[in-house]
Structure 1
């Protein structure tokens, strides 16, 4: 159902037939709905998973990207989330369907012409992260923006106004538990007047990569299904050998054959397969 918030002669907002209309940055956008599909190609499934992985990554970085992509979004009909999604879906993913994941070293959190600091360094201490850089270049009052991402908990720590460029260093306190987890850290610089921003820089990973609870569940499900497939497969091929010398085409065999094919198809596109 669509609404008419602009009066009887204004545009409709919502769904009418196969059209959906909504307001984006003051402009009414209308799109057609594609046909519903019951079966998707591998390419479509890969695209769906790539989008899901990207959305999951950015969902807890909203505060940061709303600030870091705000300059690029100005004067366009795109918003900050659109830009972040476009960049990272194209550049920050690795692997093939059904095991697409994030390449944290290629995550993009800002694009701009402001000078990035040189000699960026990150050191883990007993109480947090010490980040430092060369103060030469850029303006002394440029602001450092730092993001500490915690993939296991799907959380991010935003430090939008960490300190001025001329400070040359910034300390981020973290508790002992956080310091043991996988950490992915990024930095960029924004001008004091908010008109320019630098490219984001990946400061690095700490403590290696750890599977998230979601990925762990996917792997557990894969193991269970693979175990069942191996059992069914062994029985299926045993029966197939018997068919060479005897006529076997009863209901039990047809049921076994159907289960074998269903399980084989599921395993082909099921995430969680060991690399």
Structure 2
């Protein structure tokens, strides 16, 4: 649920649909930038786009070098966000926009145009996630972002007006002073990044195996990844290896019923781990 600062330039001048598609998958990526089993219905439900817009955005983001994708079943794709890998040492120190903030999940952000969303993330970078205020001469600000976004000063003023709901923006001595609003960018409290990623993984496996599930069964099954990961890590096995074992257990569940049963999946998973 993070976007590296170095990836931000690729997001300039995306269409509204492309930006919405990208942010939607970025919220469920794993630590390596992989998104497992992306189905058009999931994206369309989350963004409000139509089926054709899904396929158009998938292709165009690939052509722009932002993602790669591979069709895995008749109805879904495995996607990789390029240059957004956080699995190696020091990767977090490179800097990133944290999408695990309430604002990125609210309607007032979703209503922004693509370039406004980009500018919001660029200003987050320049304020260093509120470690400091971004100070820049008014003339220089317009020069930088006119060239960056290929828009007029008038359009930039419109963007700034839209972003005043998210940032405190003032002018003094011919300088802009911009600081983000704490109340707007506070972290989400209900669910951590991993919990969301793991639930998305389990939900995808349920869909692929035509299993229905309650939210509680989904959450409990996803928690198995969190529960057994330390044990497998000690044995030198990766999280992906654990995911494959859980996927196999969910598939067996699907062969023996049409409802996700966490206790049954857990039993099969333990057998796989113990060997």
Report the TM-score, using the length of structure 2 for normalisation. 0.25
Indicate the structure whose relative CO is greater, using CA pairs within 8 Å and at least 6 residues apart: 2
Greater per-residue strand proportion: 1
Which of the pair has more CA radius of gyration? 1
Report the TM-score, using the length of structure 1 for normalisation. 0.25
